[in-house]
Amino acid sequence: MSNRFTLPTYFYAKAYNEGSDHTVKVFLDDVCITEQNIPASEEQVLKFDDIHNWQEAGQHTVRINWDGKEEAENKWIKIWRLAVNDQMLPVFAFRYLPKETEFIKDNPKLVREKITKPGQTYGWYGDLIHRFSLGNPKEIASGLKDSPHRLSGIVDYEIYTDIEQSSIVKRLKRND
């Protein structure tokens, strides 16, 4: 196990469903770091603030799986912070893959708008996926050289194992 990839990882969100019990699972790569079963009509804080071994340089994924027994008009998950090695990842950059429902099938224009511009609040059950590159600048550059994301112009977010190489602007302020 390399100590260089064993890094502080921070996640903070809130979830609510007015009419049904629901479950939120958070995965770092394929490792489930938290699973919370939340009762109906209860706002729940989801927080992970610990050391995680990311194993190696390259592409990594944070995935949030949100599911429930029933749909409700008033339900949401709000993602407030995500940071690796005290470097912030933008919460608006999650790729949103909602579960298909009748509402989603019947309202494609609204769904497209909400999927492409969700902000930090998500209202449909499904998966939220955030990809980023981890390593030193040389490792990141060599890993992204032939990346389909880079070739198509999609921004890849970068987390440096040496925090001094990161921008001061995107560093985590721990005041929660």
Rounded to whole angstroms, the Cα distance separating 92 from 130 reads: 9
Residue 22: inside a domain? yes
DSSP 12: E
Which residues are within 8 A (CB) of 160 and not within 5 positions of it... i.e. 6 or more apart? 85, 87, 135, 136, 137, 140, 166
Rounded to whole angstroms, the Cα distance separating 132 from 134 reads: 7
Residue 176: inside a domain? no
- pLDDT of 73 above 50: yes
Which runs of E-coded beta strand occur in 29-156? Answer: 31-38, 44-53, 58-68, 75-84, 87-88, 95-98, 121-122, 126-135
Residue 175: inside a domain? no
Contact, 95 vs 129, CB < 8 A?
yes
pLDDT in tens, 151-173: 666 667 888 888 777 766 566 66
Q: Which residues of 97-121 are buried (b: 16+ CB within 10 A; e: fewer)?
A: ebeeeeebeeeeeebeebbeebeee
Residue 123: inside a domain? yes
pLDDT in tens, 107-123: 888 888 777 777 788 88
- pLDDT of 1 above 60: no
Range of the domain at 115: 3-170
Higher-pLDDT residue of 41 and 137 is 41
- Provide the domain count of the chain: 1
Residue 31: inside a domain? yes
Q: Which residues of 67-76 are buried (b: 16+ CB within 10 A; e: fewer)?
A: ebeebbeebb
pLDDT, residue 84, reads: 95
DSSP 175: -
Residue 40: inside a domain? yes
Range with top average pLDDT, 13-22, 65-74, 117-126: 13-22
Residue 32: inside a domain? yes
- Which residues are registered as beta bridge partners of 95? 129
